[in-house]
Chains A and B, each alone.
Chain A
Amino acid sequence: MKKLTVILLTIVVALALTLTGCQKGSKTIKIGVGGAHTGDLASYGLPTVNAVQLVAEEINANGGIDGKMIEVVVEDDQCKPEIATNTASKLVGEGVVAVIGHICSGATKAALGIYKDSDILTVSPSATNPDLCDGTYPNFFRTIASDSAQAETEVAFMKTMGLKKVAVLHDKGDYGKGFAELVQANAPAAGIEVVLFEGITPGGVDYSAIINKVANSGAEALVWGGYHPEASKLVTQMKNKGMSIPFLSDDGVKDQTFIDVAGEFAEGVYATGPIDTSTNALYKKAAADHLAKYGEEPGAFFYNAYAAMLAVCNAIDKADSTEYAAMRDALTSNYVDTTLGSISFDNSGEAIGVGFVVYQVKNGKYVEVK
Chain B
Amino acid sequence: MEYFIQLFMSGTVKGSIYALIALGYAMVYGIIQLINFAHGEIYMIGAFTALIIGATMASAGVPTGLVLVVALISAMVWAAAYGVTLEKIAYKPLRNSPRLSALISAIGMSIFLQNYVLLAQTSNFVPYPNWVPQFAFLEDIKGILNSNQFFILLTTAVVMVLFTLMIRYTKMGKAMRATAQDKAMAQLVGINVNQVISVTFVLGSVTAALGGVLICSYMGQINYYIGFIAGIKAFVAAVLGGIGSIPGAVLGSFVLGWTESLGAGYLSSDYEDAFAFVILIIILLVRPSGLLGKKEIKKV
Cβ-based interface call for A19 (8 A): no
B183 shortest CB reach to chain A, Å? 34
Cβ-based interface call for A21 (8 A): no
Contact of A257 among B125, B142, B225, B269 (CB under 8 A): B125
Contact of A206 among B17, B223, B268 (CB under 8 A): B17
* Contact indicator B6/A212 (Cβ below 8 Å): yes
* Contact indicator A241/B123 (Cβ below 8 Å): no
Question: What residues of A have a CB within 8 angstroms of the CB of B265 in the complex?
Answer: 209-210, 212-213
Question: What residues of A have a CB within 8 angstroms of the CB of B229 in the complex?
Answer: 201, 203-205
Cβ-based interface call for B10 (8 A): yes
Question: What residues of A have a CB within 8 angstroms of the CB of B228 in the complex?
Answer: 203
Residue of A nearest to B266 (CB): A213
* Contact indicator B14/A205 (Cβ below 8 Å): yes
Cβ-based interface call for B87 (8 A): no
B205 shortest CB reach to chain A, Å? 18
Cβ-based interface call for A134 (8 A): no
* Contact indicator B230/A209 (Cβ below 8 Å): no
Cβ-based interface call for A334 (8 A): no
Number of A residues, CB within 8 Å of B = 35
Question: What residues of B have a CB within 8 angstroms of the CB of A257 in the complex?
Answer: 124-125
Number of B residues, CB within 8 Å of A = 41
Question: What residues of B have a CB within 8 angstroms of the CB of A199 in the complex?
Answer: 269-270
* Contact indicator B143/A236 (Cβ below 8 Å): no
Cβ-based interface call for A261 (8 A): yes
Given contacts A203-B226, A241-B146, contact A208 B125 (CB under 8 A): no
* Contact indicator A209/B269 (Cβ below 8 Å): yes
* Contact indicator A198/B221 (Cβ below 8 Å): no
Given contacts A200-B272, A205-B230, A206-B218, contact A42 B14 (CB under 8 A): no
Question: What residues of B have a CB within 8 angstroms of the CB of A260 in the complex?
Answer: 127
Which of A200, A215, A240, A263: most chain B Cβ within 10 A? A240
A194 shortest CB reach to chain B, Å? 14
Cβ-based interface call for B41 (8 A): no
Question: What residues of B have a CB within 8 angstroms of the CB of A80 in the complex?
Answer: none
Residue of A nearest to B127 (CB): A261
Question: What per-residue 1/0 map shows which CB atoms of B136-149 lie under 8 Å from chain A?
Answer: 00000011001011
A23 to B243, CA, bound (A): 60
* Contact indicator A261/B125 (Cβ below 8 Å): yes
* Contact indicator B142/A210 (Cβ below 8 Å): no
A201 to B263, CA, bound (A): 13
Question: What per-residue 1/0 map shows which CB atoms of B267-279 lie under 8 Å from chain A?
Answer: 0111011000000
Question: What residues of B have a CB within 8 angstroms of the CB of A205 in the complex?
Answer: 14, 17-18, 215, 219, 229-230, 233
A5 to B40, CA, bound (A): 48
A237 shortest CB reach to chain B, Å? 8
Cβ-based interface call for A290 (8 A): no
Residue of A nearest to B17 (CB): A205
Question: What residues of B have a CB within 8 angstroms of the CB of A42 in the complex?
Answer: 123
Residue of A nearest to B149 (CB): A208
Cβ-based interface call for B169 (8 A): no
Cβ-based interface call for A229 (8 A): yes
* Contact indicator A233/B220 (Cβ below 8 Å): yes
Question: What per-residue 1/0 map shows which CB atoms of B223-239 lie under 8 Å from chain A?
Answer: 10110111001000000
Cβ-based interface call for A228 (8 A): yes
* Contact indicator B221/A233 (Cβ below 8 Å): yes
B272 shortest CB reach to chain A, Å? 6
* Contact indicator A209/B220 (Cβ below 8 Å): no
Cβ-based interface call for A43 (8 A): yes
Question: What residues of A have a CB within 8 angstroms of the CB of B6 in the complex?
Answer: 212, 216
B216 shortest CB reach to chain A, Å? 10
A203 to B261, CA, bound (A): 16
Given contacts A208-B149, A209-B264, A212-B3, contact A261 B273 (CB under 8 A): no
Contact of A263 among B124, B148, B220, B269 (CB under 8 A): B220
Given contacts A209-B260, A236-B219, contact A203 B126 (CB under 8 A): no
Question: What residues of A have a CB within 8 angstroms of the CB of B270 in the complex?
Answer: 172, 198-199
* Contact indicator A261/B126 (Cβ below 8 Å): yes
A228 shortest CB reach to chain B, Å? 7
* Contact indicator A241/B273 (Cβ below 8 Å): no
Residue of A nearest to B15 (CB): A206
A205 to B14, CA, bound (A): 7
Question: What residues of B have a CB within 8 angstroms of the CB of A232 in the complex?
Answer: 125, 127, 220-221
B228 shortest CB reach to chain A, Å? 8
* Contact indicator B142/A240 (Cβ below 8 Å): yes
Given contacts A240-B148, A241-B143, contact A200 B123 (CB under 8 A): no
Residue of A nearest to B226 (CB): A203
A206 to B216, CA, bound (A): 10
Cβ-based interface call for B193 (8 A): no
Cβ-based interface call for A66 (8 A): no
**27 A-B pairs (CB sep. < 8 Å):** A40-B123, A42-B123, A198-B264, A199-B269, A199-B270, A200-B269, A200-B272, A203-B225, A203-B229, A205-B229, A206-B17, A206-B219, A208-B261, A209-B11, A210-B264, A210-B269, A212-B6, A212-B143, A212-B265, A213-B7, A228-B125, A229-B223, A233-B219, A233-B220, A257-B125, A261-B125, A261-B220
Closest 3 CB pairs of A and B: A208-B10, A209-B261, A203-B229
Chain B contacts to A: CB under 8 angstroms = 3, 6-7, 10-11, 13-14, 17-18, 123-127, 142-143, 146, 148-149, 215, 218-221, 223, 225-226, 228-230, 233, 260-262, 264-265, 268-270, 272-273
